[in-house]
Structure 1
Amino acid sequence: MKLIKRVFLGLILLVLALVGIAYLLPSKADVSRSITINASPEAIFPYVNSMQQTEQWSPWLHRDPETKLTYSGPESGVGNILNWSSDDPQVGTGSQEIVASVENQSVQTALDFGPMGTASAVFLLQPDGDQTLVTWGFESELGMNPMSRWMGVMMDRWLGPDYERGLMNLKVLVEGQG
């Protein structure tokens, strides 16, 4: 009986320690990846300024080809909205809307993952001679939820490889057009 009490007390102390440590973790998750594409910002911009165009290079659609996609708003630019729904937990359900767009320079989107929370993403296009440095960034406020804070620590490891794959897909697509 003493052993069971000690194990139980140890588990309670472990849970309390994990919750306490969570509040020392960052309250925001940031992920960013960049790639140099051998093309001008003008050649790249249409592929990041339209949710419909992202289908061509998205790193997530190959996971579930049955993902249901619907679009609303204009074909590109501010107000262009993508809603997706998938039974695959790695794809999930959500929406993404372009909320700011500066031609050939940047595109900012708002993401809504339903009960999983919200985030923002940005594409930055920086010309460098005949090339363009494309940076894809992600930011999410984690709030006071201890579980979200622990997940935030893993966000770069989880999302980073997908961003790298997506940027490589974009590079191949754009450079193949030239």
Structure 2
Amino acid sequence: MRLIKRILVAFLVIILALVGVSYLLPGKAEVSRSITIDAPAAIIFPYVNSMQETEKWSPWLSRDPETKLSYSGPDAGVGNTLNWSSDNPQVGTGSQEIIESTPDQSVKTALDFGPMGTATATFALQSEGAGTQVTWGFVSELGMNPMSRWMGLMMDNWVGGDYERGLENLKALVEG
């Protein structure tokens, strides 16, 4: 009986330590990737300023060709919205709406993953010689949930590769 009590106390101490440490972890998860595309920003911008156009280079849609997509609002710019639904857990269900758009410079979107939370994504276009550096960023506020904070540490590993593939797809589309 004494051994079981010690094991339970040790288990409780470990749990409390993990929860306590979680509040020392970053309160937001950030991911960012960049690529240089051999084209001016004016050629690239339409592909990041329209949810319909992102369908052409998205790194996620190839995971589930049966993903259901619907669009609302204008065809491009602020208010352009994508809703998606997939049974594949790597694609999931959610929505993305363009909330800021500066022609040939930047686009900001609001992401809603339902119970998985919300985030913002950005595209920044910066002239670089004859080409354009495109930076795709992601930020999610993690709140005070200890589990979210621990998971935030892994966000770069989970999303970074997808961002790299997406940017490579965009580069091939624009340059091809």
TM class by shorter chain equals: over 0.9
Instruction: Report how many residues are paired.
Output: 176
Q: Does 1:29 align with 2:29?
A: yes
Moved over 3 A (4+): none
Matched, 1:52 2:24: no
Aligned-partner residue type, residue 66 of structure 2: E
Matched, 1:151 2:151: yes
SS in 2 for 1:97: strand
1:2 CA drift (Å): 2.1
Q: Which residue identity is paired with 2:2?
A: K
Name 1:66's counterpart in structure 2: 66
> Which deviations, in whole Å up to 9, do the C-alpha atoms of 1:137-175 show, x marking residues without a partner?
000110000011001111111110000010000000000
Q: Percent identity?
A: 73
How far apart are 1:3 and its partner, in Å?
2.0
Deviation (angstroms), 1:20: 0.4
Indicate the RMSD between aligned Cα atoms, in angstroms: 0.7
- Residues in 2 aligned to 1:6 and 1:61: alpha-carbon distance in whole angstroms: 50
* DSSP-derived class of the 1:98 partner: strand
* Residue 75 of structure 2: aligned partner: 75
Paired letter, 1:37: I
Q: Distance in 1 between matches of 2:158 and 2:106?
A: 24
Structure-2 separation of matches of 1:13 and 1:162: 37
How far has the Cα of 1:24 moved from its partner?
0.3
| Cα displacement string for residues 46-87 of structure 1 (whole angstroms, at most 9, x for unaligned residues) | 100000000110010111111100000000000000000011
For structure 1, list consecutive stretches of 5 or more residues without a partner in the other structure. Answer: none
What secondary structure is seen at the aligned counterpart in 1 of 2:153?
helix
SS of aligned partner of 2:143: coil
> Residue type matched to 2:41 in 1?
P
Partner of residue 17, structure 2: 17
Give ranges in structure 2 of 5+ residues lacking alignment. none
Q: Normalising by the residue count of structure 2, what TM-score does the alignment of the two structures yield?
A: 0.98
Distance 1:5 1:77 in 2: 61
Q: Helix, strand or coil for the counterpart of 1:47?
A: helix
- 3-state SS of paired residue (1:66): coil
- Alpha-carbon distance in 2 for matches of 1:16, 1:132: 48
- 1: distance between equivalents of 2:124 and 2:149? 27
Match of 2:41 in 1: 41
- TM-score in terms of structure 1 length: 0.97
